[in-house]
Structure 1
Amino acid sequence: MTGPWIADTGDGHYRNPILFADWSDPDAVRVGDDFYLTASSFNRVPGLPLLHSPDLVSWRLIGHALDRLVPEDAYRAPRHGCGVWAPALRHHDGRFWIVYPDPDHGIYVTTSDDPAGKWTEPHLIVPGQGLIDPCPLWDDDGNAYLVHGWAKSRCGFNNRLTAHRMTADLARPLDGGTVIVDGDAIEGCRTLEGPKWYRRDGWYWIFAPAGGVTNGWQYAMRSRHVLGPYEPRVVLAQGDTAVNGPHQGAWVQTPAGESWFLHFQDLSAYGRVVHLQPMTWDADGWPVIGDHGTPLARHRKPVPDPAPPRVHDEIPEWTRPANPAPTTPGAEAHRLLCEPGDDLRAFPAVLGRRLPGPRFRAETEVRLDAPAGARAGMTVLGHTYSWIGLEQQPDGPRLVRRTAEAGGEAERDVTEPLPVGGPVRLAVTVTDGAVARFAADTGTGWKEHGPPFTATPGLWIGATLGLFATGSDGHADFEPLLITALEES
């Protein structure tokens, strides 16, 4: 995936993060010489992104497993912090499987024989509130299992992992579930979640994070029996590095048999970026991740000379914060229909994408063809937001720059509205610390408008770089978004 951040250093090594964007709670598998990754998408539509890589370092978006969120009616408006939480991606019996949770409805499964193709409609396999972060395991004896965590915000408790015996097609559980790891019984453990289940050399392994999103750590747990008891050990933590909360991800093996671990780091407005660590095994059979349990900033590539990447159609990275109306143009469209809305945090039709790197410039042109009161522009959107664009007045359009602070505060002008004629070019420049500067060119050259704005995250997601059009009628036309890297500081 090209963009402002390139992880491959060109000398047989890579730098972390390998994905400097909000690909939260990553899980990955290898099939042949190809690696595939999915991530949490929360209330973004489409959901469950699928990325492909030939070497675990360079990734490209190849599709989404969810065209729309279900239940359909529950997601007609933005439900921040809801939707798709940490999924598990597996390849079994010739098919790809994603098991994912919606903490308000239960655990779903969807499958496909081609990760870049069509996925089955999601099937609810374990209904209930508070069930999160599921992962299946097909054992050598033909039995199937599913482990999951719990969200205290939905069910009143957490810090434990529950397992079910499942039908082989994961269509339904065969029992009511058994707690196989009680985090309260592990010294210092809190918020145990995100389990990933594996089997290796006669051991059952559960890799599970704890400690919370921002400052957590990673456990590996092993047992000779599928349902435990499991012995835990911390295998990755921040230590004396600058990588806060390195945890929750995937163990994968290369065709050469080497082990690697993908995990996230929470960077506030940038979201949860993805790191890659080498993984070896000590004399007692425990995994050793990174630099003796702390993250590495740079390392040799897992696959030094990968096969050429598969050719995939270019997949737009645009998403919306809710299920779009049937009449809404596709994400690749450059015309946005004006829809009613005032606060962009509650607006279901923001066409958004993840911040694509630590330092970048995004540029477009907008033309607004709509009656008075309509607005269209480019925004950086989270708990707070700011935007630059056009507002239609009875005597013609005006260039405006507005900001809305947290707590539901209404938008306010941060510059004097400026009468303009015709289309206007807009730009947002983001620099270290997710500081955004907004500029416009009305035909006389670029001019910065208003003070810098420090982006803030949304609920469980990073800030969104977005385009929008609001109003009772009409539309806005945007030029394709041009994103360029800025020199690193």
Structure 2
Amino acid sequence: MTPESARTYTNPVLNADWSDPDVVRVGDDFYLTASSFGRAPGLPLLHSRDLVNWTLVGHALDRLEPAHAFAAPRPDGGVWAPSLRHHADRFWIFWGDPDQGVFQVNAPEIRGPWTAPRLVKAGKGLIDPCPLWDEETGEAYLVHAWARSRSGIKNRLTGHRMHPDGTEVLDEGRVIVDGDGIPGWFTLEGPKLYRHDGWYWILAPAGSVGTGWQGAFRSRAFFGPYEERVLLEQGDTGVNGPHQGGWVRTGSGEDWFLHFQQRGAYGRVVHLQPMAWGADGWPVLGDDGTPVAEHRRPALPPQPPAEPATCDDFPGGRHGRQWSWAANPRDGWATQHSGDGLRLACVRSEDAHDLRRLPSVLTQRLPGEPRVVEVELRLDSEEPGARAGLAVLGDAYRWIGLQRDADGTAHLVHRFAEPGAAAERDADTPRPAPQGRALLRVETVAGARCRFSCDLGDGPRPTGRDFAATPWGWVGALLGLFALAPAGRGHAGSATFTRFRVGPRRTAA
């Protein structure tokens, strides 16, 4: 780290899809959670000491319920926009499942154990909840937004009195901010609720994820009336739609705001903005209301560079915290053993020709900057039609890997599916892989374009054309590992992945 870089940071501080972030400080530690939608485990938990360098330390949700609703991928359902708080010596996370209602889990420590999910308010379209335990009055409150896709309602924030133990709301709720009554405001959502300087504050975005802004509302009473102000918008910067996040104060009294920027296939990357309180009592974000690209670091002890893990040797057959299944996992998909490497069972499926429908794909986030992704694959299955590989998964997807043919030969295959297509097509001509082994490689370049190549022992060779990665519903594109077999009976063998690596692109001298 150079002296200059030691004094400043560059946005985004989390350059991958950590969607809808919220943050809290406990002592000298900062913690962040984000949306995980239908993947399991869900509710990722990140830790930092300086708000710039973050590591992934666990998840608060092992699997989603009801199990039958998350037996297949749901990139548009599950965990939406959680809020993270610390109260009564416990961590609390509230989130909205747009098909079920507002849920809550809590734990004595960030690493758990976390309680089973508790349904706080049932209903369709209830999203983006945030609690507040008011230390001045002893009251507890909850605010949430609405998803029109499920409820027919949007652009409104509803407030409730809440039981102090966080288990239920105590009234029918009342609309406390109606975005339709504010000229120029639309798609009001994502509220975060605070108490400061005698005011109730709701920091909430509006204007949609791609082009919107961050707003603030304040009132002397929780149920209003509220006055509003725009705090952060794109202006002449390249940061589109800067909004939806959380405010945190350091131990020395500095204020900061973490929010996301929607970046297409890269998902929602996280930016850190300075925050101050103006003479009129309203917060000021960024550079007088526009996002900063580079800024002085928070006045906190310097920390070594860190970011959420991506590489994995799969010791003992176990995968790292950076991986989530595309839906609730089942026993037997991955086998623990005495060596290194991820041993995936070739899961039999009638949907084996559409990875978007398969829960048994192990995924992690696509890096938000150019990278080289490599993994070694050995196909141990002799089952005709068995296949395994490395995928870039979204509304469209492409994968490269090995397939066992009817005559027992393994072939290197490269396949893709377009948005809405029900089946894959070849992206290149299959070629023999006589050893049943391959080094698979994806190089990502600007614009989330992906270049696939492989090495079957005779040197690296490109395969197929460039592929433009796409988002997957509300989720950014995902890297995926999988092993599949056609529908049938009995064990279909396995595939072993070793030395998963994500590193910088090599440039010519």
Indicate the TM-score class for this superposition, using the shorter chain for normalisation.
Answer: over 0.9
Deviation at 1:145, TM superposition (A): 0.5
> Aligned-pair distance for 1:326?
2.4
Q: Which amino acid aligns with 1:361?
A: V
Contact 2:391 2:398 in 1 (8 A): yes
Instruction: Identify unmatched segments of 5+ residues in structure 2.
Output: 313-319, 487-491
State the match for 2:497 in structure 1.
478
Alpha-carbon distance in structure 2 between the residues aligned to 1:160 and 1:330: 47
**TM-score of the two chains, using structure 2 as the length reference:** 0.92
| Counterpart secondary structure, 2:6 | coil
Q: CA deviation at 1:304?
A: 4.2
2:322 to 317, 320, 337: 317
- Residue 289 of structure 1: aligned partner: 285
Q: Which amino acid aligns with 2:265?
A: A
1:307-341 per-residue CA deviation (whole Å, 9 max, x = no partner) reads: 7899x999520111110112232799601111122
Decide whether aligned partners of structure 1 residues 210 and 9 sit closer, same or farther in structure 2, where only a CA change above 3 A counts: farther
More off after superposition, 28-37 vs 9-18: 9-18
How many angstroms apart in 2 are the aligned matches of 1:203 and 1:145? 14
Give the whole-Å Cα distance in 2 for the aligned partners of 1:210 and 1:467.
36
State which drifts further: 336-345 or 205-214: 336-345
* Cα distance between partner residues in 2 of 1:378 and 1:9: 39
Counting matched residue pairs gives: 483
The CA distance in 1 between the partners of 2:447 and 2:147, in whole Å, is 30
Matched residue, 1:3: none
Q: 2: CA distance between counterparts of 1:8 and 1:155?
A: 53
- Per the TM alignment, residue 51 of structure 1 is displaced from its structure 2 partner at its CA by 0.1
State how far apart, in whole Å, the 1-side matches of 2:496 and 2:183 are.
57
Contact 1:28/1:250 (<8 A) preserved: yes
Tell me the residue number matched to 2:316.
none
**CA-to-partner distance for each residue in 1:358-407, whole Å, 9 max, x for gaps?**
11001011111221101111010100001111010023100011111111
Alpha-carbon offset, residue 486 of structure 1: 2.3
User: Are 1:150 and 2:158 counterparts?
Assistant: no
Q: Is the 8 A contact 1:369 1:476 kept in 2?
A: yes
Letter of the structure 2 residue corresponding to residue 389 of structure 1: G
What is residue 435 of structure 1 aligned with on the other side?
A: 449
Asked if the contact 2:40–2:62 (Cα under 8 Å) also holds between the matched residues in 1, the reply is yes
> What is the CA-CA distance between 1:83 and the residue it aligns to?
0.4
Equivalent in 404, 414, 418 of residue 431 of structure 2: 418
Aligned runs of 1:110-259 on 2, under 5 Å?
110-139=105-134, 140-259=136-255
From 26, 39, 47, the equivalent of 1:44 is 39
Counterpart position of 2:358: 347
Write the deviation string for residues 215-235 of structure 1: whole angstroms up to 9, x where unpaired: 110101111111111101000
Q: 1:387 aligns with which of 399, 418, 421?
A: 399
Match of 1:110, SS state, is strand
SS class of match (2:245): strand
Shift of 1:74: 1.1
**Which residue of 46, 69, 86 maps to 2:64?**
69
In structure 2, do the counterparts of structure 1 residues 487 and 177 end up closer, same or farther at CA, with 3 Å as the change threshold? farther
SS of residue matched to 2:80: coil
Give the Å deviation of 1:284: 0.2
Change in CA separation of 1:261 and 1:488 when aligned onto 2, cut-off 3 Å: farther
Tell me which of 18, 21, 24 is aligned to 2:16: 21
- 2:506 & 2:90 partners in 1: Cα distance? 43
- Go from structure 1 to structure 2 and tell me whether the alpha carbon gap of 1:323 and 1:478 turns closer, same or farther (over 3 Å shift): same
User: Does 1:450 find its partner at 2:464?
Assistant: yes
C-alpha distance in 1 between matches for 2:60 and 2:87: 17
8 A contact 1:7–1:57 mirrored in 2:
no
Once structures 1 and 2 are overlaid, which stretch shifts more, 404-413 or 49-58? 404-413
Contact 2:335 2:343 (8 Å CA) reproduced: no
Q: Secondary structure at the match of 1:153?
A: helix
Letter aligned with residue 257 of structure 1: G
The one-letter amino acid paired with 1:125 is: V
| Partner residue, 1:465 | 479
The match for 2:344 is 336
Q: Please report how far the alpha carbon of residue 487 of structure 1 lies from its aligned counterpart in structure 2 after TM superposition.
A: 6.3
| More displaced stretch, 86-95 vs 405-414 | 405-414
Determine the structure 1 residue equivalent to 2:270: 274
Q: Partner of 2:380 in structure 1?
A: 369
Cα distance in 2 for partners of 1:436, 1:319 equals: 22
Confirm or deny: 8 A CA contact 1:7 1:17 kept in the other structure.
Answer: no
Alignment equivalent of 1:263, drawn from 247, 250, 259:
259
Offset at 1:305?
2.1
Using the TM superposition, name which of 384-393 and 471-480 deviates more.
Answer: 471-480
SS at match of 1:184: helix
2:402 is the alignment partner of 1:406: no
Q: Taking structure 1 as the reference length, what is the TM-score of the superposition?
A: 0.95
2:22 aligned with 1:11, yes or no? no
Given that 2:49 and 2:300 are in contact with CA atoms closer than 8 Å, whether structure 1 keeps it comes out as no
Instruction: Name the stretch that deviates more: 184-193 or 313-322.
Output: 313-322
Long gaps (5+) in structure 1: 1-5
Distance 1:138 1:178, change over 3 A: same
Q: CA shift at 1:213, angstroms?
A: 1.1
Aligned partner letter, 1:321: A
Shift in alpha-carbon separation, 1:308–1:417, aligned structure 2, 3 A: closer
1:469 deviates by: 0.8
The answer (yes or no) to whether the contact 1:106–1:125 under 8 Å persists in 2 is yes
Conserved 8 A contact 1:7-1:19: no
Percent sequence identity over aligned pairs = 56
Shift of 1:73: 1.9
